[in-house]
Structure 1
């Protein structure tokens, strides 16, 4: 007898991207993302503007996701949504809309932890993509988070290291701001880093015990370095931008890889998965691939579209929770600070 298909609608609205996806079992049928260009004018996400844009985008995005998937609303098995962590106003839009849809369609409601979703995106079925075996180490790196997580199974995760101040994505964006680059600065620094000398300039690597991270000191070090050099040569940034970007990226990747090596040593686990927006960075991907050769690790790098905030990762967690009949009550609340 053929197994009945499970169709999950995933909704993601934790920050400034409104996204909806349809998943059939473990395969994505559609993954629609509406980003918000307006924040580039302000050099960062403006929460009030983000929540207003979600209100404008969510209906057409969900409609488009269902239409692209080629299914009807009546076929939906459940509605999954991001409960947190994230910006409260943005989360409220997605939470309220998901509740309305689930109630209207008379299907289960499933709340999803955004950080778990970044990790479990690795279990979306894709041709040629291998999934990590349990237990594995996951490094989630984004604008808001930097964590190393020991993943024992789908819903047994332990944070063994995290940032004590800025996230790695913030370090990229704040460095970019110092250099006069646009927002978000990470992709531009990555692009220029490939054209520059990574050892042209040396920046401080914060001394933090154990598996925790710190990036605020590095940001300050870069600021003082640029201010000092610009006093000597007003065109310093312009003359050496590729080398500066390469040196910043080399330092950041060095910090991340040192902590990963320590985590592997402490846990004895050498299966490494990355997730989050910064995992799209070419330097980090190359460093992981080099570590495979050098240390015998096996690394798992998600498809590019599943690195940034997207609803496909929410839908896969929704599917896994659906199998466990792990449904939410309709009085579930969005939570800006939600732990794994």
Structure 2
């Protein structure tokens, strides 16, 4: 007898997307997305040039019930049909995390279903297994507004941080570059569009950490150097802005290529028997075409393949949380209803924090 697929509801509210999804996982470990509803808050935050935590939390409260209902309707399932309820429990903006996790707890309690409190980063880390059926182990490059990390993914719940930013995330650097140059929010796509019309070789920007041992990143100095260049040639014309964007994007890509190159060499030494190892790239910045082209060139030269889930699954979404929940449920890794919401929650629990810690926990 063939067993029925396991159905998991996934809820994601860690930043400025209110999302819910139903994912099915069969006995062979293959996944199917039955619904994936994402409500963006970009318009709510555009006037501020970035995400305002209080506005984000209120928007989640107002929208989440409707988003969950839409996901359930699209998948054609009832709460009684579910095998588990998963929600992001951190890291993220704590107000939003509390909204999603509390809702998941209520559904799990009322329906008598297991709760799966998912690390948001684990959702990104495991998405390639949903979309590409990828086997362990593999490398993950997570590049978003809040995170820039290289992780070894050995298995569900088994992660090693090989590199992280010592200051700003790459997505944050893109957003602040856009704000400095008067480009609209969200900044990453605006910088990429504008860079297409610029000359990257007009301005020489520093390449932080280039050539150093290890795989850590730094982007704070690059932002400062860009600001100094912009102030030196102000007032800025459209041509100046395009050239600044092109120089920033080219420099950031070169830094990522260098940092990832060290990790690829380390992976090859650790797993010499894997014929064609994979690097998974996830996070909103993974949509940047220049970055992808640079990664593909670096990987091709070193005998690796790039695995990039579809854009809608690289950015924050409920399907990645549902899938991570399904993977954990298959291993019996369920949580109690008192599972905490965490503003900070490093995926590698054994690594020492590089950029500090406090009562909220380690930053990274």
Q: Same fold (TM over 0.5)?
A: yes
Q: Which one is further off, 203-212 or 218-227?
A: 203-212
Paired position in structure 2 for 1:57: 63
Give the alignment of 1:273-312 within 5 angstroms: 273-312=280-319
Give the counterpart of 1:329 among 333, 336, 350.
336
How many angstroms apart in 1 are the aligned matches of 2:37 and 2:258?
A: 36
How many angstroms apart in 2 are the aligned matches of 1:162 and 1:40?
A: 28
Q: What count of residue pairs does the alignment treat as equivalent?
A: 332
How many angstroms apart in 2 are the aligned matches of 1:242 and 1:211?
A: 30
Paired position in structure 2 for 1:77: 83
How many angstroms apart in 1 are the aligned matches of 2:319 and 2:120?
A: 11
Paired position in structure 2 for 1:22: 22
Paired position in structure 2 for 1:228: 232
Paired position in structure 1 for 2:259: 259
How many angstroms apart in 1 are the aligned matches of 2:133 and 2:174?
A: 29
How many angstroms apart in 2 are the aligned matches of 1:8 and 1:67?
A: 14
Q: What does the per-residue CA deviation read over 1:106-148, in whole Å, with 9 as the maximum and x for residues that have no partner?
A: 11100100011111111124xxxx3433221111000000000
How many angstroms apart in 1 are the aligned matches of 2:114 and 2:245?
A: 47
How many angstroms apart in 1 are the aligned matches of 2:182 and 2:331?
A: 49
How many angstroms apart in 2 are the aligned matches of 1:7 and 1:132?
A: 20
Paired position in structure 1 for 2:191: 189
Q: What does the per-residue CA deviation read over 1:181-221, in whole Å, with 9 as the maximum and x for residues that have no partner?
A: 11111011112223332322211111365211111111111
* Alpha-carbon RMSD: 1.3
How many angstroms apart in 2 are the aligned matches of 1:131 and 1:38?
A: 36
Paired position in structure 2 for 1:242: 242
Q: What does the per-residue CA deviation read over 1:68-104, in whole Å, with 9 as the maximum and x for residues that have no partner?
A: 1122222111100001000111100001100001111
How many angstroms apart in 1 are the aligned matches of 2:3 and 2:134?
A: 25
How many angstroms apart in 2 are the aligned matches of 1:287 and 1:145?
A: 19
In the alignment, structure 2 segments of 5+ residues that lack a partner are 26-30, 272-276, 348-364
Contact 1:132 1:273 in 2 (8 A): no
Contact 1:88 1:335 in 2 (8 A): yes
SS across alignment from 1:124: helix
In the alignment, structure 1 segments of 5+ residues that lack a partner are none
Paired position in structure 2 for 1:2: 2
Question: What TM-score results when the alignment is normalised by the length of structure 2?
Answer: 0.88
How many angstroms apart in 1 are the aligned matches of 2:135 and 2:280?
A: 10
